[in-house]
Structure 1
């Protein structure tokens, strides 16, 4: 059994994916006769998922999108996003050094994201990060996804790890609520994608840079 497992959300936690996601959203909006949205405005839409991004993109311009049209636009969004998945995406500062340090201390690393699994793997592969992780699960890997605790617990099980020796790291209510329900400690990053500040969501610890992760993990492990 894996001794200790650190699970990470992907978008807004490990990676700044907003430029590619918002860029994709803007191609949809322009096709729909709307104006593109500034990155700063649309950044926090991301934690809600692609469908919500499309809806929110319309609503910011006082336009509703019918459910039938949303069903048509959703696969178009995914196809366009996959085509540019790592054009402008990058790791948050300090990530690589932090991961190397934690791995050297015996931590196994995993990804537990609501992004569909094949896109998560493709993105990590294009950034040469796949080999870092013992386990990678997406929003379509199991019957349930975050904020349901089963997503975290099944990911831990797949990694042959122990929930009592696992920690979740995320940036939104989905991550924090799922971890709490799974009885897994949770560290929140405050530089991700959330409508509500993570300090108001009740994580065990909040960090503002990956250079703080080692100390945070040490506090929760002890």
Structure 2
């Protein structure tokens, strides 16, 4: 029997990670002698992977991309990724409910695999996921559907019984390319425009479990 698989984005979907990303970017800027950022600036930079995040941060302060800055940020953030980051309220119940219903769960995120593993481990939820596809786990990453499909294969699932949940246009585009429905996480960091093409917009985590179980019955 084929099991249903829920593929989750991480930042802005399962966890509110902006506080730690913001702090790490501000520490990077301090090392480079530049001012830090407002929270809204950091939120808008998230979603396309760590290299693009650092590129955007450096450009916002008039600096060219620098590999040493990327490596320094990555090491610093990975070591301190869970100081303030937490699951969004209601997400723990979603994960428990899916597990009780016999679903398999996976992570499909553009965050690097090492930082993802560190964060999941610190939050004590790493063992819930059948597969974790980080931004550097495969040759491609979201919005390329190959990232979603490779994560789904690693989780032992099939397209016909899979649902993607994410808060960014990259999640919607990857899901559409893979012919998997996407539920847009309206509580996350994405703008309403990013939800275009999603199967549905879910306004709060409490509404996610019944929406997923409804897809599973389909």
Question: So what's the TM-score if we normalise by structure 1?
Answer: 0.91
Cα deviation digits, residues 13-59 of structure 1 (max 9, x gap): 10011111110001111222221112233212111333333333344
Structure 2: 5+ residue runs without aligned partners?
none
2:103 aligned residue: 107
Q: CA deviation at 1:174?
A: 0.9
| Structure 1 stretches of 4+ moved >6 Å | none
1:202 aligned residue: 197
1:3 aligned residue: 3
Question: Which runs of structure 2 are paired with 1:134-213 in the superposition (5 Å)?
Answer: 134-194=130-190, 196-198=191-193, 200-213=195-208
Q: Is the 8 A contact 2:184 2:195 kept in 1?
A: no
Distance 2:119 2:12 in 1: 14
The Cα RMSD (Å) is: 1.7
Structure 1: 5+ residue runs without aligned partners?
none
Distance 1:116 1:58 in 2: 19
- Residue 82 of structure 2: SS of its match in structure 1? coil
Matched, 1:36 2:32: no
Residue 66 of structure 1, aligned match among 64, 67, 74: 64
Distance 2:186 2:136 in 1: 26
Q: CA deviation at 1:87?
A: 0.3
Distance 2:64 2:56 in 1: 12
Q: CA deviation at 1:98?
A: 1.3
Q: Is the 8 A contact 2:187 2:205 kept in 1?
A: no
Distance 1:204 1:124 in 2: 27
Q: Is the 8 A contact 1:45 1:193 kept in 2?
A: no
Distance 2:120 2:174 in 1: 23
How many residues align? The count is 217
Q: Is the 8 A contact 2:108 2:133 kept in 1?
A: yes
Structure-2 change in CA distance of 1:42 and 1:131 (3 Å): same
Structure-2 change in CA distance of 1:100 and 1:191 (3 Å): same
Q: CA deviation at 1:197?
A: 2.2
Residue 125 of structure 1, aligned match among 87, 109, 121: 121
* Segment of structure 1 superposing worse, 32-41 or 166-175: 32-41
Q: CA deviation at 1:172?
A: 0.3
Distance 2:53 2:109 in 1: 17
Distance 1:199 1:174 in 2: 8
